[in-house]
């Protein structure tokens, strides 16, 4: 009866929009007690929009957007898309970038119109000796207190402004978290973004445990640590920066709307990128196992 039960399970999975790598994957769903959720693109839409700009004295908003937008045009990060789109719709054609470099989880740098420009976390600017002025730091803190993501802009070694972008929580995420809890799982939000932003998203969807400001390469260590504490971990993610964590988790669930790297690393793919299906997947897998037993 075993092969038939597995076929039923995977066939029903396909109907629900779940692709299962192989029957052996199901076995791991039984003991899962913790589900780690990536924030950007998994719990939130990942489609960010520019919400506002704050400039240092002597810098116009147009100039800030033009230089930051030119640089972000070369990046595929959701924050970058928001900044580049806003800059292009305001300024039209953006200047070219030389020596573009992306620093994972921190931001981007490159030369625009002869200026060495940085866009990203405060940490990235600090590493280049460009600390935020008191005014810019206050603008950033105020935006983050409201649950928005604020990135800093510097050129020629000085902070020039802060750009505020906002990303919406998917309207299915709160229900998805409730369903996961209903299966007895503890949800954990994991993100490279600021703690205040992460906590705001967690509150909106009903998650109590938040692990924020984690660099992309360190996400896998968080999963390892949770497993070392004796937890059995499912991880849901969409990004290149989630791939190692997805592969290391007891059960990796990739958003079908995400990157190829995440889909390849996952055990299961949620085809439509609907987080509620993560709960369906775990429930279906457990039920299929119950039939086999
Ligand atoms: P998440 O874990 O939520 O998917 P990331 O690890 O991709 O987030 O990014 C973490 C943070 O690094 C972002 O919230 C942003 O502040 C900063 N960052 C990363 N890439 C960029 C970029 N291209 N431009 C500006 N900021 C960036
Ligand atoms: Mg993500």
Residue 120 CB less than 6 A away from ligand 1: yes
Last residue of a domain, one of 166, 181, 207: 166
Q: Are residues 75 and 177 in the same domain?
A: no
Percent of the chain clearing pLDDT 90 (strictly above): 81
Tell whether 90 and 113 lie within a shared domain. yes
Q: Tokens standing for 52?
A: 């506002």
Average pLDDT over residues 156-171: 96
pLDDT, tens digit, 9 for 90 and up, residues 75-86: 989 999 999 999
ipTM above threshold 0.90: yes
Spatial distance between the Cα atoms of 291 and 293, rounded to a whole number of angstroms: 6
Contact yes or no for 217/232 (Cβ under 8 A): no
**Model pLDDT, residue 10:** 61
Same domain, 91 and 229: no
- Its pTM stands at 0.87
Q: Which of 74, 120, 222 has most ligand 1 atoms within 8 Å of CB, for mutation?
A: 120
Residues 196-235: pLDDT tens digits?
999 999 999 999 999 999 999 999 999 999 999 999 999 9
Residues 179, 282 within the same domain: yes
Domain at 260, CATH number: 3.40.50.1000
Q: What is the mean pLDDT of residues 42-51?
A: 94
Q: Are residues 175 and 287 in the same domain?
A: yes
* Residue 38 is a catalytic residue: yes
Mean per-residue pLDDT over the chain, rounded: 92
Whether 129 and 188 share a structural domain: no
Task: Give me the percent of the chain exceeding a pLDDT of 70.
Answer: 95
State the total domains in the chain.
2
Whose CA is closest to atom 8 on ligand 1? 192
Burial 247-261 (b: 16+ CB within 10 A, else e): bbbbbbbbbbbbbeb
Q: Is the domain of 214 the same as that of 245? A: yes
- For residue 105, give the nearest of 77, 141, 144, 145 by alpha carbon: 77
Q: What distance in Å separates the CA atoms of residue 234 and residue 48, rounded to the nearest whole number?
A: 26
Ligand 1 proximity of 79 Cβ (cutoff 6 Å): yes
Question: How large is the average pLDDT for residues 154-183?
Answer: 97
Residues in the chain: 293
For 128-139, the pLDDT digits (tens) are 999 999 999 999
- How many whole angstroms separate alpha carbon 268 and alpha carbon 55? 45
pLDDT in the model for residue 9: 55
Task: Flag whether pLDDT at 5 surpasses 60.
Answer: no
- Look at residues 166, 182, 199 and tell me which one is the last residue of a structural domain: 166
Burial class (CB in 10 A: 0-12, 13-18, 19+), 240: middle
**Please, what is the Cα angle at 215 between 243 and 183, to 5 degrees?**
55
Owning domain of residue 146? 49-166
pLDDT at 8 over 80: no
**Which pLDDT does position 16 carry in this prediction?**
80
- Per-residue tokens: 6: 């597995």
**pLDDT of amino acid 291:** 64
């Amino acid at each position: 009866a075993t092969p038939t039960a597995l076929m039923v399970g995977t066939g029903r999975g396909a109907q629900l929009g779940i692709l299962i790598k192989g029957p052996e994957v199901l076995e791991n769903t039984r003991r899962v007690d913790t589900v780690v959720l990536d924030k950007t693109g998994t719990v939130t839409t990942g489609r960010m929009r520019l919400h506002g700009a704050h400039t240092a004295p002597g810098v116009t908003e147009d100039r800030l957007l033009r230089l930051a937008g030119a640089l972000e045009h070369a990046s595929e990060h959701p924050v970058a898309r928001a900044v580049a789109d806003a800059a292009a719709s305001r300024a039209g054609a953006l200047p070219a970038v030389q020596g573009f470099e992306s620093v994972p989880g921190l931001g981007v740098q490159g030369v625009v119109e002869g200026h060495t420009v940085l866009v990203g976390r405060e940490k990235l600017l600090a590493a280049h000796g460009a600390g935020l002025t008191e005014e810019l730091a206050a603008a950033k803190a105020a935006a983050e207190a409201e649950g928005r993501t604020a990135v800093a802009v510097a050129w020629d070694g000085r902070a020039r402004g802060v750009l505020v972008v906002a990303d919406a929580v998917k309207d299915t995420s709160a229900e998805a978290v409730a369903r996961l809890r209903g299966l007895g799982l503890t949800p954990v939000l994991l993100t490279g973004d600021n703690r205040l932003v992460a906590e705001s998203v967690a509150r909106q969807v009903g998650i109590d445990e938040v692990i924020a400001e984690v660099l992309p390469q360190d996400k896998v260590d968080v999963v390892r640590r949770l497993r070392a504490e004796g937890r059995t971990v499912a991880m849901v993610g969409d990004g290149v920066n989630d791939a190692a964590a997805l592969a290391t988790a007891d059960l990796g669930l990739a958003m079908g709307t995400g990157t190829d790297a995440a889909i390849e690393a996952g055990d299961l793919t949620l085809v439509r990128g609907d987080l509620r299906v993560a709960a369906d997947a775990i429930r279906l897998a457990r039920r299929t196992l119950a039939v086999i037993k």
